[in-house]
Amino acid sequence: MNVLATALGHVDYLVAVALFLIGAWILVTSGNLVKKVIGLNVMETSVFAFIVTTGMIDGGAPPLVVEGMEGPYASPLPHALVLTGIVVAVSITSLALVLILRVKSQFGTIELDEIVPTDEVRGAEDSDAIGGNDD
């Protein structure tokens, strides 16, 4: 199974890697939370594309056992994997969007650098203090 060694020159792998990097770039550099999620989605897509193409064989037939179909078949497994992966990706994206909504309602913005961090340590109200705090 020396697929990868020969295929590193393959354009599909290169595209997948390029997409992955673009997505990562958006995810890391963008200050907008929605754009970050979009970056994440681009990355996910690139990985799915990569996995799907690993199952491909030049001139291979669809892996269906019906009349007239003869090997070599393309590997069906990556498709199954990617389907699962898409489900996971959807759930992550939806959770992220819900969280962004909550951030928006709490801080009034979805730009990371506009979010004013509230006191991380919320000390008790001063009315709670007992006198004689010596140091």
Residue 97, C-beta contacts closer than 8 angstroms, at least 6 positions apart: 34, 37
User: Within 10 Å of residue 20's Cβ, how many Cβ atoms?
Assistant: 18
Burial level of 2, CB count in 10 A (0-12/13-18/19+)? exposed
Interface pick for another protein out of 32, 38, 63, 85 (rule CB under 8 A): 85
Residue 59 C-beta: closest distance to another protein, Å = 18
Q: Which positions touch another protein (CB under 8 A)?
A: 1-5, 7-8, 20, 24, 27, 33, 36-37, 40, 43-44, 47, 50-51, 54, 75, 77-78, 81, 84-85, 88, 91-92, 95-96, 99-100, 102-103, 106-107, 115, 117-118, 120-124, 127-130, 132-135
